[in-house]
Structure 1
Amino acid sequence: MNSSVEQNKSETRYARSANLKRILSLIVAVTIFIMIVYFLPDSFSYAAKIMTAIICFGVLLWALEPIPIGLTALIVLLLMLLFDVAESSVIFSGFASPAIYLIVGGMMLAKAVNDTSLAKRVSYMMLRKWGHTSKGLLASILVITQIQAFFIPATAVRTTLMLPISSMIIETVGAKPQSNLRKMILLGVAYGGNISGTAIMTAAIGNILTIELLNSYVNISITYFQWFFYTFPLWFILIPSMWLLLLKMFPLPKEQRTFPMIKQEMEDKIHDLGPINYRELRCLFILVLTVGLWVTEPLHGLHPSIPALIGVALMTFPGIGCASWDNVVKINYNTVLLVSVTLSMGYTLIDSGAASTISEYLSVDWVLKIIQNPVLAVIFVVVLAQLFHKMISNVSTAVVTLLPIVLSLASNANIDPLVVGFTAGLSSLYGFVLIVETMPNLLVHSTGMITQKDFLKPGLYATIITTILTIIVGLTWWRFIGLV
């Protein structure tokens, strides 16, 4: 009886604390909104002031999350409409963008794949082959996510697929709470998810938004193949770099470096799945066809959203598909709202004049001289994007707020906007220090098996590594192929 009373009291205290945090977060966001509107200098037009305030208001709510992210997106949309910061056609344009259909199609594809045992089978086979040692186990976790990136266009979905597998591994090997082994496995899932969007254009929402903004405002188109061509050296270097980092950060005693039980567990799992069936084969064929259409975009000219939707139609069509339509349409509409509204924010930030005004303040002589030098421009934008991402935690929001400013800055400096725009978008993908920086971090942390503190030190090193490697690739490979 006493135990039940104490539990009720504890739950009541937790609920009150959560409500207080929620109220304080909302008060802070509203206060910041009002201060920006009233204290920004007169060089900002009315629309630019309001739009800047709306963005800061939305960013705070997305970071603190006192209300669901989809509800925040809806409120931001309403604020843009009610304050009339741009034509309604501009404000609603994010919802009509082909990028949104690509994201929706990607999430539906992921649902369809998850309706079969294909993803699990591939994961179990890799872990059976290499997962019996600590080095092989970590490598498998990292590589599985990279393979999934070709076929599952959402870091959140790929991470969600990996979490049950990682939890099973933790239980099988007996990784204790706060042990190095548990931290290595979980951060392997998070960091693998973060870098998996590097070279595959459809594998990360940030990539899609970058391409959409470049195409809409500076008329630069980047195909699926071009994105891969620009970024694959960085991707190939990042995978072993994250592997080495986590092995060094979380050294294991000798008795925790081999796991013979993993092989047996994976064999049992594969046995339970049975032999590969026709549904899995049809799923694999449709995935290969979809990826093939993405890769050959220069030949047929189809926007990447069209192959994604073709894949969804084939996967759910009676008789030839591999998934149920009723299951496939159960996608996360919080994400759809978030991406649609953030894309509209990017368009409206430019249309309202806010991006131009902010870039004018940044266009001091020393910044323009840096931007006008391609080598220094890459270094400057990579570092700027990392710092910006720490302040604006959500990847989508970071991309759609930073890119318009960077593109306006490139216009002021009279340089080709491709390099700085592409670099800013790519660098915004990587977030390792704070759990709110990326969906893989947030999802891994939500398991309750790892804390924010566990992200800090390895995350700092991972940030430094990705920053340095991006700059090195920019100054070597990008110069070699003529991008810089």
Structure 2
Amino acid sequence: MVGTAFLLVLCMGLWASALLPEIVTALAFFGLAMLLKLAPAETVFSGFASQAFWLVLSGMIVGQAMTRTGLGARMARVLAQRLSGSYPRFIGGLVVLSFLLALVMPSNLGRIALLVPVTLALCDGFGLVPGRPGREGAVLAVGVATPILSAAILPANVPNLVMAGSAERLLGLHFSYLSYFVLHFPVLALAKGIMLVALIVRLFPDELAAPIAELQALPPLSGAEARLAVILAGTLALWMTDSLHGLPPAWVGLAGAVLCLLPGIGVMSADAFGQVSLRTCFYIAALLGLVAMVNATGLGERLGHALLAVAPLTPHAPAQNFAVLTGIGTAIALLVTANGAPALYTALTPDMVKASGLPVLAVVSVQVIGYSTLFLPYQAPPIVFASELGRVPLRRAARLTVAFGFVSLLVAAPLDYVWWRLLGCLK
């Protein structure tokens, strides 16, 4: 367990500080974990068997297809009419679009794969060329809004599903779509969305250089664009109806990527796969493998109980308990990422209910505030994925996530407390 703790601190520290390229740290994790025999190979390399790995890979293929065929630029031309006018309006429109798509498309990574190529095409049309802060801000508007604001929609991201599944299995709690939405939307989506737009405009200031009227007209729809549009429409339809057919989003996305490369049907040659960057795929696999190893060795549970042992939880102090539980949820997400946090936090819920005297539903629900308060990009694979697709250095992404994390704790969390008191969830 000591070796696992050392590797956790080393990898998280390197990913957070960007002292080494993320791919080097990822490969170092695999090598050290196996050389030191910290866990079986099936645990260390479990990230490669995860749906997230394959969804990232397929998303990169589809994103490249959208760029090569010009379909991304065409979609951007349609959206540009509504997003033009000013840089704040452009950023705000991207944040709203990211949230609205979460209502119908369940996969964070799938939404990133769909939106980032379109966002880059919009940036090109508005004169936000590579190197401009506005281009980075636009990519991060999609990359950060996608995983964080979707926390307000129950089936819209992985942490929510893990939380709901763990709560049902361990505590017998069942969450309904509407009650969950009412509890979390006003602050986690609406208020935090406004905060995110304000931060991006402040940290990545820029102006739209090209009015919409000056955007270059696009040629008629090509055969490749038409075929890709059909592939995307079918993929999106299957993603939106996953509750009916039960096909996981990753395998639907992989099928779409294969169709893009398939001779005769596809829109680019198989040789184009050689231009797909695998760095982010290996990073995702290493991150998920590290989380699996932390949980498998019992380190995660021990860290959780250590946090609980020093937590000043006391009955009849709802404000204090709310703040402490929010802090615990945030700390766990910092240690084991947003995807790994719900399973660990939910397992500790009975102890926290006993110590705080709060209703079990409130204690379980507080973790949503915690794992949607992210300080560093590595905590949410979609942010890393968007940064890679948009060519935004992780240190630049961290500039936004650190600021957004502190604002979320200082402003959004107290707003959540007030809202929950009004709803009667906290007494």
How big is the shift at 1:235? 3.8
How big is the shift at 1:274? 0.6
Q: 153-162 or 334-343, which moves further after superposition?
A: 153-162
* Pairing partner for 2:77 from 112, 115, 124: 124
Judged with a 3 Å threshold, the aligned counterparts in structure 2 of structure 1 residues 143 and 55 are, in CA distance, closer, same or farther, namely same
Is the CA contact 1:128–1:262 (under 8 Å) kept in the aligned structure 2? no
Does 1:153 find its partner at 2:110?
A: yes
How big is the shift at 1:465? 5.2
TM-score of the aligned structures, taking structure 1 as reference length = 0.63
Does 1:307 find its partner at 2:255?
A: no
1:265 match: 214
Judged with a 3 Å threshold, the aligned counterparts in structure 2 of structure 1 residues 329 and 406 are, in CA distance, closer, same or farther, namely farther
TM-score of the aligned structures, taking structure 2 as reference length = 0.70
Does 1:58 find its partner at 2:11?
A: yes
Is the CA contact 1:130–1:137 (under 8 Å) kept in the aligned structure 2? yes
How big is the shift at 1:186? 4.8
* Pairing partner for 1:196 from 133, 143, 146: 146
Distance 2:288 2:97 in 1: 30
Is the CA contact 1:410–1:420 (under 8 Å) kept in the aligned structure 2? no
- Aligned runs of 1:157-172 on 2, under 5 Å? 159=116, 162=119, 165-166=122-123, 169-170=126-127
- Aligned runs of 1:208-287 on 2, under 5 Å? 208=158, 230=181, 234-235=188-189, 238-243=192-197, 249=202, 261-266=210-215, 268=216, 271=217, 273-287=218-232
Distance 2:399 2:247 in 1: 45
- Aligned runs of 1:44-443 on 2, under 5 Å? 48-142=1-95, 153=110, 155=112, 159=116, 162=119, 165-166=122-123, 169-170=126-127, 186-198=136-148, 207-208=157-158, 230=181, 234-235=188-189, 238-243=192-197, 249=202, 261-266=210-215, 268=216, 271=217, 273-328=218-273, 330-364=275-309, 366=311, 380=324, 382-384=326-328, 398-399=337-338, 402-403=341-342, 405-410=344-349, 412-413=351-352, 419=365, 423-428=369-374, 438-439=383-384
How big is the shift at 1:191? 3.1
Judged with a 3 Å threshold, the aligned counterparts in structure 2 of structure 1 residues 164 and 106 are, in CA distance, closer, same or farther, namely closer
Judged with a 3 Å threshold, the aligned counterparts in structure 2 of structure 1 residues 244 and 399 are, in CA distance, closer, same or farther, namely closer
RMSD between aligned alpha carbons? 5.1
Distance 1:171 1:303 in 2: 36
1:10 match: none
What per-residue deviation string (whole Å, max 9, x for no partner) do you get for residues 417-452 of structure 1? 964665544333x769xxx9954679676599x899
**Aligned amino acid, residue 51 of structure 2:** P
Is the CA contact 2:58–2:253 (under 8 Å) kept in the aligned structure 1? yes
The structure with the largest alpha-carbon Rg is: 1
SS at match of 2:275: coil
Distance 1:312 1:274 in 2: 25
Judged with a 3 Å threshold, the aligned counterparts in structure 2 of structure 1 residues 424 and 351 are, in CA distance, closer, same or farther, namely same
Gaps of 5+ in 1: 1-47, 480-484
Is the CA contact 2:112–2:382 (under 8 Å) kept in the aligned structure 1? no
How big is the shift at 1:462? 6.5
What per-residue deviation string (whole Å, max 9, x for no partner) do you get for residues 65-95 of structure 1? 3332112112112222222222332222222
How big is the shift at 1:107? 2.3
Gaps of 5+ in 2: 171-175, 354-359
Judged with a 3 Å threshold, the aligned counterparts in structure 2 of structure 1 residues 445 and 289 are, in CA distance, closer, same or farther, namely closer
Judged with a 3 Å threshold, the aligned counterparts in structure 2 of structure 1 residues 368 and 287 are, in CA distance, closer, same or farther, namely farther
Q: Say how many residue pairs are matched.
A: 402
Distance 2:25 2:209 in 1: 48
How big is the shift at 1:399? 2.9
How big is the shift at 1:52? 0.8
Distance 2:167 2:283 in 1: 21
Distance 1:295 1:318 in 2: 27
SS at match of 1:67: coil
What per-residue deviation string (whole Å, max 9, x for no partner) do you get for residues 112-161 of structure 1? 22222122122233334542345544444545666888697375895576
Distance 1:339 1:90 in 2: 14
